[in-house]
Structure 1
Amino acid sequence: MNLFSHSWAALRTAVAALSDEDFAQPSGCTGWLVRDLVCHLVIDAQDVLITLVTPTTREPTRDAVTYWEVTDTPPAGEDPLDALTVRLAAAYQDPGLLT
């Protein structure tokens, strides 16, 4: 949990330093603006917190080494979940709501 807290604080610090105009700039992720990437990271953080407080007796399917499966090809922006994230981020309109 300490690593999550440290990462979350670093993300919040980085996002707080962004101007409203920065949120409308390309993020470096194909088809995503900075606001889309920030929204994605916030959603993932929520998923982590939900996972941490959801008890289960099942064996883990991943560990710290196997959690990330990196592919050789970057995202093309065609995944339906990519489009969902972009629409969700656009719904915030005011960048302050993402910070």
Structure 2
Amino acid sequence: MISITTIDTAVSSGAADGALVPLSDRFNEAFARYYVQAGHERDGILAAANDPMVAADPQQLYQLQLRQEAYTKQVTLTSALVGHATKGIETLVKS
């Protein structure tokens, strides 16, 4: 299942001080957190794929395939969203 991280007011240290935090900063921090999390998930998948105990157990192999599928869907969706956001910003800048 794909989880969507919310952008809350605790994202930035500026928000804790009561200062205004630009939406772009919150957006950047949320995506940075997501990519770090995705990197950890990728590392976990690769470690499990190289584990001989996982390779010997069909149930664990199936779970690994499910993790890989979820990871691929999350990265693909994020990439598409960033691409659309970039195109939208380019359109606004050009007009």
TM-score above 0.5, yes or no: no
Which of the two has higher C-alpha Rg?
2
Q: TM-score, normalising length from structure 1?
A: 0.41
With a CA cutoff of 8 Å and minimum separation of 6, indicate the structure with the bigger relative contact order.
1
TM-score scaled by length of structure 2: 0.42
